[in-house]
């Protein structure tokens, strides 16, 4: 089973990227799978406005049961929330909020993934998936490296311990929000050796066969190359 990192974005047909995650969950379940969707919002009422969209999208792609777990600043993820999951889907929103609320169950998530439960991270859920999570921010050393609209409430570009599912630092909404510059700046400043920045409506799939890209866009890579930063593109 695989780790599916989704760069965000909504589309009428998500079968080529999100659908790959549902297919793996169905394989594990031997039938229509149970998907646990983890969402974070400032309060439960705000979060509830997104529940139907996630349930409808995943059901349309073949999920059998979709259990939504709504997290807030006061309600963090519990290991018992993930019971019976054939697939774990962590949604999008404010990345620092997701990070704070999901990390208390990081050991449980890693354990389930190690037994073959596929993981999908959508936007924020992708950014916190790595050994090191990118929480947001728009400046490094006081110098702007991306638009302030990408800051997620943080001034300095901020890294912290992530879920530990992969050894990559992940950024999202790359072509749409212009986050490639932040990825390059992270490597140039010595804050990361490699960063991947994923376009919307696109997934980076990390599985037994290595890296694969699915969907409409690309996955951009920034790697340390001596004193330089090397940029690459992985396309579907």
pLDDT-based confidence at residue 177 (cuts at 50, 70, 90): very high
* Alpha-carbon separation of residue 205 from 34, 150, 167, 214, 231 (angstroms): 20, 24, 13, 8, 19
Determine how many CB atoms are found less than 10 A away from the CB of residue 82: 19
Q: Can you give the pLDDT at residue 223?
A: 97
Distance between CA atoms of residues 48 and 142, nearest Å = 37
* Alpha-carbon separation of residue 139 from 77, 149, 181 (angstroms): 30, 12, 11
Q: What is the mean pLDDT of residues 168-196?
A: 97
Residues 111-164: tens digit of each pLDDT? 999 999 999 999 999 999 999 999 999 999 999 999 999 999 999 999 999 999
Do residues 13 and 129 lie in contact, with contact meaning Cβ atoms separated by under 8 Å?
no
pLDDT-based confidence at residue 1 (cuts at 50, 70, 90): confident
pTM comes to: 0.96
Q: What is the mean pLDDT of residues 52-67?
A: 96
Q: Give phi and psi for 185, each to the nearest 5.
A: -65, -35
Q: Which of 114, 111, 113, 135 is nearest to 123 (CA)?
A: 135
Residues 34-50: tens digit of each pLDDT? 999 999 999 999 999 99
Task: Report residue 161 as tokens.
Answer: 């311990």
Q: Can you give the pLDDT at residue 209?
A: 85
Q: Can you give the pLDDT at residue 6?
A: 98
Tell me the residue length of the chain.
236
Task: Report residue 170 as tokens.
Answer: 């992940």
Residues 74-109: tens digit of each pLDDT? 999 999 999 999 999 999 999 999 999 999 999 999
pLDDT-based confidence at residue 62 (cuts at 50, 70, 90): very high
Q: Can you give the pLDDT at residue 86?
A: 98
Do residues 32 and 62 lie in contact, with contact meaning Cβ atoms separated by under 8 Å?
yes
Q: How many CA atoms lie within 13 A of 101 on its CB side?
A: 27
Q: Can you give the pLDDT at residue 12?
A: 87
């Amino acid at each position: 089973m695989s780790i599916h990192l989704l760069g965000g974005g909504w589309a009428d047909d998500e079968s080529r990227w999100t659908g790959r995650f549902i297919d793996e969950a169905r394989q594990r379940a031997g039938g229509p799978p149970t998907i646990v969707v983890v969402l974070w919002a400032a309060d439960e009422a705000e979060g509830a406005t997104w529940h139907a969209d996630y349930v409808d999208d995943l059901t349309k792609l073949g999920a059998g049961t979709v259990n939504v777990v709504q997290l807030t600043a006061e309600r963090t993820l519990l290991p018992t929330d993930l019971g019976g999951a054939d697939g774990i889907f962590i949604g999008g929103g404010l990345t620092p909020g997701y990070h704070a609320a999901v990390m208390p169950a990081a050991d449980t998530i890693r354990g389930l993934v190690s037994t073959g439960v596929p993981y999908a991270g959508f936007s924020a859920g992708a950014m916190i998936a790595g050994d090191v999570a990118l929480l947001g921010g728009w400046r490094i050393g006081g110098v702007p490296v991306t638009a302030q609209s990408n800051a997620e409430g943080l001034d300095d570009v901020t890294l912290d311990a992530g879920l530990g599912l992969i050894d990559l630092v992940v950024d999202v909404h790359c072509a749409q929000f212009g986050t490639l510059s932040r990825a390059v700046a992270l490597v140039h400043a010595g804050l990361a050796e490699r960063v991947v920045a994923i376009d919307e409506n696109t997934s980076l799939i990390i599985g037994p066969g290595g890296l694969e890209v699915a969907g409409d866009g690309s996955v951009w890579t920034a790697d340390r190359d001596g004193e330089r930063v090397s940029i690459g593109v992985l396309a579907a």
